[in-house]
Structure 1
Amino acid sequence: MENALCIAKLKAGGNTGLAKALGNISPQAIGQWRRVPAERVLNVEAVTGISRHELRPDIYGPSETEQAV
Protein backbone atom coordinates (compact mmCIF):
# COMPACT_ATOMS: atom_id res chain seq x y z
CA MET A 1 0.00 0.00 0.00
CA GLU A 2 2.70 2.50 0.95
CA ASN A 3 4.75 1.33 -2.03
CA ALA A 4 1.80 2.01 -4.36
CA LEU A 5 1.52 5.51 -2.91
CA CYS A 6 5.23 6.15 -3.50
CA ILE A 7 4.91 4.96 -7.11
CA ALA A 8 1.83 7.16 -7.58
CA LYS A 9 3.73 10.17 -6.32
CA LEU A 10 6.64 9.44 -8.66
CA LYS A 11 4.36 9.01 -11.67
CA ALA A 12 2.58 12.27 -10.94
CA GLY A 13 5.76 14.28 -10.37
CA GLY A 14 6.05 14.09 -6.60
CA ASN A 15 3.78 15.64 -4.00
CA THR A 16 3.52 18.86 -5.99
CA GLY A 17 2.61 17.12 -9.24
CA LEU A 18 0.00 14.96 -7.57
CA ALA A 19 -1.47 17.96 -5.75
CA LYS A 20 -1.75 19.91 -9.00
CA ALA A 21 -3.32 16.95 -10.78
CA LEU A 22 -5.86 16.39 -8.01
CA GLY A 23 -6.54 20.07 -7.39
CA ASN A 24 -7.87 21.53 -4.16
CA ILE A 25 -5.14 19.92 -2.02
CA SER A 26 -1.68 21.07 -0.98
CA PRO A 27 1.56 19.19 -1.58
CA GLN A 28 2.13 19.32 2.18
CA ALA A 29 -1.12 17.46 2.80
CA ILE A 30 -0.12 14.76 0.32
CA GLY A 31 3.28 14.53 2.01
CA GLN A 32 1.51 13.56 5.23
CA TRP A 33 -0.37 10.65 3.67
CA ARG A 34 0.67 7.20 4.83
CA ARG A 35 -1.94 5.78 2.46
CA VAL A 36 -4.29 7.37 -0.04
CA PRO A 37 -7.44 8.59 1.75
CA ALA A 38 -10.54 6.65 0.76
CA GLU A 39 -12.16 9.72 -0.77
CA ARG A 40 -9.13 10.32 -3.03
CA VAL A 41 -8.44 6.78 -4.28
CA LEU A 42 -10.43 6.98 -7.51
CA ASN A 43 -8.91 10.36 -8.39
CA VAL A 44 -5.37 9.11 -7.75
CA GLU A 45 -6.13 6.04 -9.86
CA ALA A 46 -7.36 8.24 -12.72
CA VAL A 47 -4.31 10.52 -12.54
CA THR A 48 -1.61 7.85 -12.16
CA GLY A 49 -3.10 4.71 -13.68
CA ILE A 50 -2.32 2.76 -10.52
CA SER A 51 -5.16 0.45 -9.64
CA ARG A 52 -7.41 1.20 -6.67
CA HIS A 53 -6.71 -2.40 -5.64
CA GLU A 54 -3.03 -1.58 -5.28
CA LEU A 55 -3.61 1.78 -3.64
CA ARG A 56 -6.13 0.56 -1.05
CA PRO A 57 -6.47 -3.24 -0.95
CA ASP A 58 -8.08 -2.87 2.47
CA ILE A 59 -11.07 -1.22 0.78
CA TYR A 60 -11.14 -2.70 -2.74
CA GLY A 61 -9.57 -6.10 -2.09
CA PRO A 62 -6.97 -7.73 -4.29
CA SER A 63 -7.17 -7.23 -8.05
CA GLU A 64 -8.68 -9.97 -10.19
CA THR A 65 -5.21 -11.04 -11.34
CA GLU A 66 -4.05 -11.37 -7.73
CA GLN A 67 -7.13 -13.44 -6.90
CA ALA A 68 -6.38 -15.83 -9.77
CA VAL A 69 -2.95 -16.70 -8.37
Structure 2
Amino acid sequence: MNALEKAIQKAGSIRKLGAMIGVSGMAVSNWKTHCKGIVPANRVLAIHQVTGILPHDLRPDIYPNPTDALPAHREHAA
Protein backbone atom coordinates (compact mmCIF):
# COMPACT_ATOMS: atom_id res chain seq x y z
CA MET A 1 0.00 0.00 0.00
CA ASN A 2 1.48 3.34 -1.01
CA ALA A 3 1.20 6.59 0.95
CA LEU A 4 -1.76 7.88 -1.07
CA GLU A 5 -3.68 4.66 -0.46
CA LYS A 6 -2.93 5.01 3.26
CA ALA A 7 -4.24 8.59 3.18
CA ILE A 8 -7.42 7.44 1.42
CA GLN A 9 -7.87 4.73 4.03
CA LYS A 10 -7.40 7.22 6.90
CA ALA A 11 -9.89 9.62 5.32
CA GLY A 12 -12.45 6.89 4.79
CA SER A 13 -12.75 7.02 1.00
CA ILE A 14 -11.41 8.69 -2.10
CA ARG A 15 -14.36 11.08 -2.11
CA LYS A 16 -13.87 12.00 1.55
CA LEU A 17 -10.15 12.68 1.10
CA GLY A 18 -10.93 14.91 -1.86
CA ALA A 19 -13.53 16.83 0.13
CA MET A 20 -11.11 17.25 3.03
CA ILE A 21 -8.48 18.89 0.82
CA GLY A 22 -10.77 20.80 -1.55
CA VAL A 23 -10.59 18.67 -4.70
CA SER A 24 -12.97 16.23 -6.31
CA GLY A 25 -12.89 12.54 -5.60
CA MET A 26 -12.23 12.11 -9.29
CA ALA A 27 -8.99 14.08 -8.94
CA VAL A 28 -7.83 11.83 -6.10
CA SER A 29 -8.83 8.77 -8.09
CA ASN A 30 -6.81 10.06 -11.02
CA TRP A 31 -3.71 10.45 -8.82
CA LYS A 32 -4.19 6.90 -7.58
CA THR A 33 -4.71 5.22 -10.94
CA HIS A 34 -3.25 7.31 -13.74
CA CYS A 35 -0.47 9.01 -11.78
CA LYS A 36 0.59 5.81 -10.00
CA GLY A 37 -0.02 7.29 -6.55
CA ILE A 38 2.00 10.45 -7.14
CA VAL A 39 0.31 13.36 -5.40
CA PRO A 40 0.66 16.82 -6.98
CA ALA A 41 3.22 18.87 -5.06
CA ASN A 42 0.66 21.54 -4.17
CA ARG A 43 -1.58 18.95 -2.41
CA VAL A 44 1.03 17.15 -0.27
CA LEU A 45 0.83 19.43 2.76
CA ALA A 46 -2.97 19.47 2.73
CA ILE A 47 -3.05 15.68 2.75
CA HIS A 48 -0.54 15.66 5.58
CA GLN A 49 -2.68 18.07 7.60
CA VAL A 50 -5.84 15.98 7.35
CA THR A 51 -4.37 12.46 7.53
CA GLY A 52 -1.00 12.74 9.26
CA ILE A 53 0.74 10.95 6.38
CA LEU A 54 4.23 12.47 6.19
CA PRO A 55 5.13 14.65 3.20
CA HIS A 56 8.24 12.47 2.86
CA ASP A 57 6.06 9.40 2.38
CA LEU A 58 3.79 11.11 -0.14
CA ARG A 59 6.56 12.72 -2.23
CA PRO A 60 10.08 11.65 -1.26
CA ASP A 61 11.38 13.33 -4.41
CA ILE A 62 10.34 16.73 -3.01
CA TYR A 63 10.70 15.98 0.72
CA PRO A 64 13.77 13.67 0.89
CA ASN A 65 14.08 13.74 4.68
CA PRO A 66 11.36 12.35 6.96
CA THR A 67 11.12 15.65 8.84
CA ASP A 68 10.96 17.92 5.78
CA ALA A 69 7.98 20.32 5.82
CA LEU A 70 7.13 19.49 9.43
CA PRO A 71 6.93 22.21 12.08
CA ALA A 72 9.93 22.17 14.45
CA HIS A 73 7.85 20.77 17.35
CA ARG A 74 6.78 17.75 15.23
CA GLU A 75 10.23 16.86 13.90
CA HIS A 76 11.12 14.85 16.97
CA ALA A 77 7.88 12.86 16.79
CA ALA A 78 8.51 11.63 13.23
TM-score (norm 2): 0.73
Q: Considering Cα pairs closer than 8 Å and 6+ residues apart, tell me whether 1 or 2 has the greater RCO.
A: 1
Offset of residue 14 of structure 1 = 1.4
Q: Structure 1 runs of 4+ off > 6 angstroms?
A: none
Aligned mates of 1:39, 1:58 — CA distance in 2: 14
RMSD of aligned residue pairs (Cα, Å): 1.3
Question: Gapped runs of 5+ residues in structure 1?
Answer: 65-69
Which of residues 29, 32, 40 is equivalent to 1:31? 29
Q: Is the 8 A contact 1:12 1:18 kept in 2?
A: yes
Tell me the matched-pair count: 62
Offset of residue 30 of structure 1 = 0.7
Determine the structure 2 residue equivalent to 1:59: 62
Aligned mates of 1:43, 1:20 — CA distance in 2: 11
Greater share of helix residues, 1 or 2?
Answer: 1
